[in-house]
Amino acid sequence: MEIVALLFLGLIQGLTEFLPISSSGHLVLFGNLFNINETLFVSIILHVATLLSVVIVFRREIWQMIKHPFSTQSLNLYIATIPTCVIALIALPIAKISFSGKFLAISFLISAVLLYFAERKNNLCYQPKPISKKEALIMGIAQGLAIFPGISRSGATISAGLFSGADKTQSAKFSFIMSLPIIILSLAMEIFEICVAGTVLTVSPIGLTLASLIACIVGILSIKVMIKLTAKASLKYFTAYLVLIAIVCLIVL
């Protein structure tokens, strides 16, 4: 039964990571419903799986950044990562508590409000700008605040880009790329803490491996869908969904 639940979580992670509806929030919600142990660890591993999705889809952009570490996009990534790390380290103790699901409904509603006002801002912006150092900094701060499950990382960063006047599609692409160093650092920290504490993990390794594979494959498709959606669709549909899932959390958790 646990393996089936993990496979479902892998599917959920792949579907929701690149949509502005908080994949971590969905993992906490369904993890609680399925009584999955080590929710935070499972969440980080599945985020690493979707990180591979980003690497596969944006392999050319990432390779260019590796070849040219002082290019504009590389510098923007550094600028975005620094405030994220600072905020995440400060908020980490509280964020770990939130993985119990106690604040999930509130966090989903915060994401809904961000998307609602970001869409309104985008409709008023007739000449969107490319991602600059200023936009990268603002998006990095937003990413740090999205450490709490239920506050969508992609939703917060894309909204931050739109609030600062950046192009919606460019904000989405940069949002996906800027997740790379943070997910890698999160995995390293979690493994370090597990080793130091001597924690024995009870989650099924086979189930988690298969779930990661599903998350990666579905994540590739989700990235491509989200890029198309940001160019054409309104964020208000995601806003409505987040309000609905917040109500569900209030009922079941």
pLDDT of residue 139: 96
pLDDT of residue 98: 83
Give me the mean pLDDT over the 166-179 stretch.
90
170 pLDDT higher than 70: yes
The predicted-structure confidence for 203-240, as pLDDT tens digits, reads as follows 888 989 999 999 999 999 999 888 888 777 788 889 99
Higher-pLDDT residue of 7, 227: 7
Q: Residue 200's pLDDT band (boundaries 50, 70, 90)?
A: low
DSSP 128: P
Task: For residue 18, count CB atoms less than 10 angstroms from its CB and return exposed for 0-12, middle for 13-18, buried for 19 or more.
Answer: buried
Tell me the residue ranges of DSSP E strands in the chain. none
User: If residue 91 lies in a helix (H) or strand (E), which one and from where to where?
Assistant: helix 72-98
The predicted-structure confidence for 43-73, as pLDDT tens digits, reads as follows 888 999 999 999 999 999 999 999 999 999 9
pLDDT of residue 37: 67
Q: Residue 126's pLDDT band (boundaries 50, 70, 90)?
A: low
Three-class HEC string of 133-178: HHHHHHHHHHHHHCCCCCCCHHHHHHHHHHHCCECHHHHHHHHHHC
C-alpha angle with apex 56: 51 to 57, nearest 5 degrees?
A: 100
pLDDT of residue 31: 86
| Single pTM value for the model | 0.89
